[in-house]
Amino acid sequence: MKITSVRAKTYEWKGKTVPPQGNFCSNAMDLLYAKEESMQTFRFHGWTVVEVETDDGHVGYGEVALAPRVAKQIIDLYLKPLVLGQDPWDYEYLNQRMYRATHAWGRKGIGMAAISGVDIAIWDLLGKSVGKPVFKLLGGRTKERIPCYYSKLYRTDLKAMQEEAQKYLDLGFSAFKMRFGYGPAHLQHGVVENLKSVAAVREVIGYETDLMLECYMGWNLEYAKRMLPKLARYEPRWLEEPVLADDIDGYAELNAMNIVPISGGEHEFTLYGFKLLLDRKAVSVVQYDTNRVGGITMAHKINALCEAYSVPVIPHAGQMHNYHLTMSTLASPMSEYFPMFDVEVGNELFYYIFDGEPVAENGFVQLDDDKPGLGLTLKTEYLDQFDIIE
Ligand SMILES: [Mg+2]
């Protein structure tokens, strides 16, 4: 089997979107001046789909969600020539080839995201070529089904947040992640608002559920140190990305306080990046995304690393490329789950591109033992709502 074609197609949503509301999620731009800009950088309305085809007609799908137009350029110009004509079963060699050939400028960020898209597509077609789901190639089923946590609850009106929490509690979810709307720039008023929102959600979901708290890098170390003791009484399972992804000392300091477990990793890359986080005890939960770290080949190694360090892996975003790895490793107790909504920040856009993404039932997602590859096909229903750059 040889790879005969690599196609990167960028899907840009041009359909209706829900406008961002108020302080719906703190983020890294909050500490800068322009508020409008801060909210704009938080939207992701494009996706690059990678199709890798072989001489015997198998097509695998991968995807890149970061800077999708740039990712397409990297794939077209740099990665495609490295994998064309190669045997996809040599996936370790191909992954190393892409990683090493782009190392001078790749390493972290968009270079690794582009590699991830190609690697995921290769695994999808390998599964299809032998009629097995990808998780069966990675170690198989380690759990009956995958527990998942409801991940939305952006900071809006508190009543609306409570109604949202109630609705998904009634649908059977027993774990929830909410977003803070305020950070250091909002002074003590923001501290009070942040605490009010946590109290409001706990009031609805009670204490026999997990509650996770998301900062999306919108805080700083000093603010996070002040917030942790105030948050402890709400028994959060973790506090996510309190500071910039590069501030590993900051993560380590907060995690060492042992007040609330600190999580992170959705903006970290490669085996080396995660070894550093683990060596420094910077996070209590690892949250890589397979479509950023270097694909399934790399994520599988990071799983092994986390197992050895006894740190759970709960990948960013859910989605098939992560669910298959979660199913196949005991180091991964659950998944994040983005529900399908009208297009808002873009976290839901993959449902508009792919068919086959599992829908949670009673707080669990299931993978099919008999569905080859990742189990995804391209959706036609919303095609006219996208500009597609080929
Ligand atoms: Mg996150």
Answer whether 227's CB lies under 8 Å from 203's CB: no
Name the burial class of residue 204, with classes exposed (0-12), middle (13-18) and buried (19+) by CB atoms within 10 angstroms of its CB. middle
Cα 59 to ligand 1 centre (Å):
31
Cα 84 to ligand 1 centre (Å):
34
Answer whether 147's CB lies under 8 Å from 175's CB: yes
pLDDT for the residue 40: 61
pLDDT for the residue 27: 83
Half-sphere exposure of 380 (CA within 13 A, CB side): 0
Cα 263 to ligand 1 centre (Å):
9
Read off the pLDDT band of 29 (50, 70, 90): confident
Q: What is the 3-state secondary structure (H, E, C) of 200-243?
A: HHHHHHCCCCEEEEECCCCCCHHHHHHHHHHHHHHCCCEEECCC
Name the burial class of residue 6, with classes exposed (0-12), middle (13-18) and buried (19+) by CB atoms within 10 angstroms of its CB. buried
Cα–Cα distance, 154 to 221 (Å, whole number): 22
Q: What percent of the chain has pLDDT over 70?
A: 97
pLDDT for the residue 317: 95
pLDDT for the residue 18: 84
- For residue 80 the two structure tokens come to 């495609």
pLDDT for the residue 356: 97
Per the listing, tokens 């986080």 go with: 277
User: Higher confidence at residue 24 or residue 109?
Assistant: 109
Cα 164 to ligand 1 centre (Å):
19
pLDDT for the residue 36: 60
Cα 142 to ligand 1 centre (Å):
25
Q: What percent of the chain has pLDDT over 90?
A: 90
Active site residue 316: yes
- 3-class SS of residue 156: coil
Cα 381 to ligand 1 centre (Å):
29
Per the listing, tokens 């001046």 go with: 33
Q: What is the 3-state secondary structure (H, E, C) of 312-336?
A: CECCCCCCHHHHHHHHCCCCCCCEE
- For residue 218 the two structure tokens come to 């919108």
Cα 214 to ligand 1 centre (Å):
6
- For residue 54 the two structure tokens come to 């072989």
Distances (CA, A) of 361 to 147, 189, 216, 291, 358: 10, 38, 27, 25, 9
Cα–Cα distance, 81 to 317 (Å, whole number): 30
Angle between helix 320-327 and 295-309 (nearest 10): 40
pLDDT above 60 for 333: yes
Mind listing the pLDDT tens digit for each residue in 237-289?
999 999 999 999 999 999 999 999 999 999 999 999 999 999 999 999 999 99
pLDDT for the residue 35: 60
Domains of the chain listed by start with CATH number:
3-131 (3.30.390.10), 136-378 (3.20.20.120)
Mind listing the pLDDT tens digit for each residue in 95-151?
999 999 999 999 999 999 999 999 999 999 999 999 999 999 999 999 999 999 999
Read off the pLDDT band of 38 (50, 70, 90): low
Cα 245 to ligand 1 centre (Å):
11
Cα–Cα distance, 244 to 221 (Å, whole number): 9
Q: Which entry of 58, 300, 316, 321 is annotated as an active-site residue?
A: 316
Read off the pLDDT band of 42 (50, 70, 90): low
Mind listing the pLDDT tens digit for each residue in 163-213?
999 999 999 999 999 999 999 999 999 999 999 999 999 999 999 999 999
Cα 241 to ligand 1 centre (Å):
7
Mind listing the pLDDT tens digit for each residue in 170-183?
999 999 999 999 99
Cα 178 to ligand 1 centre (Å):
10
- For residue 188 the two structure tokens come to 């003590």
Angle at 56 between CA 135 and CA 298, to 5 degrees: 35
pTM: 0.96
- 3-class SS of residue 253: helix
Q: What is the largest CA-CA distance in the chain?
A: 63
Cα 337 to ligand 1 centre (Å):
11
pLDDT for the residue 26: 83
Answer whether 62's CB lies under 8 Å from 52's CB: yes
Name the burial class of residue 316, with classes exposed (0-12), middle (13-18) and buried (19+) by CB atoms within 10 angstroms of its CB. buried
